[in-house]
Structure 1
Amino acid sequence: MTETAVEQFTEHQRKRGKRVSVVSPLDAPFFETERGSLILGDCLQTLKSLPANSVDLFVTSPPYDGQPKYGNGEKYERDWYRDFFMAVSAEILRTLKPHGSFVLNYRSKRRGAERGVLQYEMIFWLREQGFLFCEDFIWGKPSPPPGKFNRFLKDAVEYCFQFSKTNDWQFFPENCLSPARWDAKDRERRKKLAHNYVRANAPSGQGRKRVQAGPDMVRPSTLLHLEPEFSPNPVKHPARFPVELPSFFIKLLTQPGQLVVDPFGGTGTTGLAAERLDRRWLLVEIDPTYASIVPTRFENGR
């Protein structure tokens, strides 16, 4: 740990009345609750220590390619993904339960006049590794961060790719229902559509019966309208996602008590979402500065 991270963690533990001893991340968690733990260390080594077929859901966002703002000097170019990230994903595949899912939040950066294609390459690499490509979700940001991009518009989209180990991945859309949009104008429009009618027997012969507009609550779509994370960022993490993002996938793809893992834990957002939703969780983060804010976030509940 860096000196700053040790001081922050130690002070937090003292305020909670805890006895403090700084240990290796291999000896004890950096932070823990009754439901989960944050390990400070190399995610590949931590995943190798997990039993096969033990995790219900992985939700993670690895470092964006060509992003120098993580503070460790690494730019995470294509070779990092082809080598290290694919070694991590191999462990994800090994430790994922047959009914489990792996959700990857990622969008490659622009390269000059062209959008990078690493996000699509990763889909093919993961399929070659043995994953099934289940779904692609679009995270649409209504208020993207401002910026000046010459011939480009503001970047308001990221992807969340869902992979599984088998065809039997679990799915609980009833946990994610959203209000239906059956306003008066829409009901009138639906009356005119042929597929909103079914054949029905009538005294005078065959007739048609209008199908009702539907329930008040319906399944959501694969377009997720979520604002970027605008809360205070004291550790200056360059790529946070809002807690609502992992919350959606945790509700959609797991049940209470199941295990959620984020190998690139950052400032603990996935763990915080899992904690709120009564799931067990495990985070791994290599940067002690980012990890140092996690106890405070859990204490504050955000």
Structure 2
Amino acid sequence: WFGQIGRVLLPGRAAYIWGGYANCANYPAALKEAGLYFSQAIIWDKEHPVLTRKDFMGAHEWCFYTWREGAAHQFFGPNNATDLWHVKKVNPQSMIHLTEKPVELAARAIQFSSRTGENVLDLFGGSGSTLIACEQTGRRAFLMEMDAPYCDVIVLRYEKFTGRKAERIASGACASRSETDAAEAI
């Protein structure tokens, strides 16, 4: 799937890939093979540890910050942004997905790497945090999720947040969007 990111991401534009420490050895090489430049790791400080089957409880998660080569890199965040993001994790009692990310986490990445009105792609839609962050920041979200129950979760979460009815997109055709818009996101 790194190859798909490299295929659709505009040159100079960024991707944020969440993954555990175990991916440190594999991800940088895979990103390079996909035509992506691995810039650095961002560490999410969850502010509260998570029980694991390891010797130490997990209090952070890695994010592989990368961009597509071929043009000048674009960054829209402040010049004093750090690679340590202190964002409280979602309360376990209200989580709707096993690896749910807080909307604030997605919103920060979106604002650092896109402008209002631009497209944002999330290949692992999960609980829909990226979709909600896009709604909050004025971006156009395109999500993919393979697990049908989580697709339902995303739709319900979107409808609850916006008060609008979700539109179904099927067979490569977009309901109420032009073909040009659809092709732009693919």
Q: TM-score, normalised by structure 2?
A: 0.78
* Structure 1 residue aligned with 2:59: 156
Q: CA deviation at 1:147?
A: 5.1
For residues 258 and 139 of structure 1, what CA distance do their matches in structure 2 show? 25
* Structure 2 residue aligned with 1:221: 82
1:266 aligns with 2:126: yes
Letter in 2 for 1:96: L
1:133 aligns with 2:38: yes
- Go from structure 1 to structure 2 and tell me whether the alpha carbon gap of 1:283 and 1:223 turns closer, same or farther (over 3 Å shift): same
* Structure 1 residue aligned with 2:26: 121
1:243 aligns with 2:147: no
1:171 aligns with 2:84: no
For residues 99 and 121 of structure 1, what CA distance do their matches in structure 2 show? 22
* Structure 1 residue aligned with 2:7: 94
For residues 53 and 37 of structure 2, what CA distance do their matches in structure 1 show? 38
Q: CA deviation at 1:148?
A: 6.4
1:280 aligns with 2:140: yes
Q: Is the 8 A contact 1:142 1:156 kept in 2?
A: yes
Q: Is the 8 A contact 1:144 1:228 kept in 2?
A: no
- Go from structure 1 to structure 2 and tell me whether the alpha carbon gap of 1:300 and 1:219 turns closer, same or farther (over 3 Å shift): farther
Say which structure, 1 or 2, has more relative contact order (CA 8 Å, 6+ apart).
1
- Go from structure 1 to structure 2 and tell me whether the alpha carbon gap of 1:300 and 1:164 turns closer, same or farther (over 3 Å shift): same
SS in 1 for 2:12: strand
1:39-50 pair list within 5 angstroms: none
1:290 aligns with 2:164: no
2:115 to 255, 260, 265: 255
Structure showing greater Rg:
1
Q: CA deviation at 1:296?
A: 2.5
SS in 2 for 1:260: strand
Q: Deviations over 1:207-248 (max 9, x none)?
A: xxxxxxxxxxx7231100111111623xx5211111111111
Aligned Cα RMSD in Å?
2.0
Where structure 1 has 5 or more consecutive residues not aligned to the other structure, the ranges are 1-87, 109-116, 175-217
Identical-residue share of aligned pairs (%): 28
- Go from structure 1 to structure 2 and tell me whether the alpha carbon gap of 1:139 and 1:291 turns closer, same or farther (over 3 Å shift): same
For residues 10 and 52 of structure 2, what CA distance do their matches in structure 1 show? 42
SS in 2 for 1:294: helix
SS in 2 for 1:295: helix
For residues 165 and 92 of structure 1, what CA distance do their matches in structure 2 show? 9
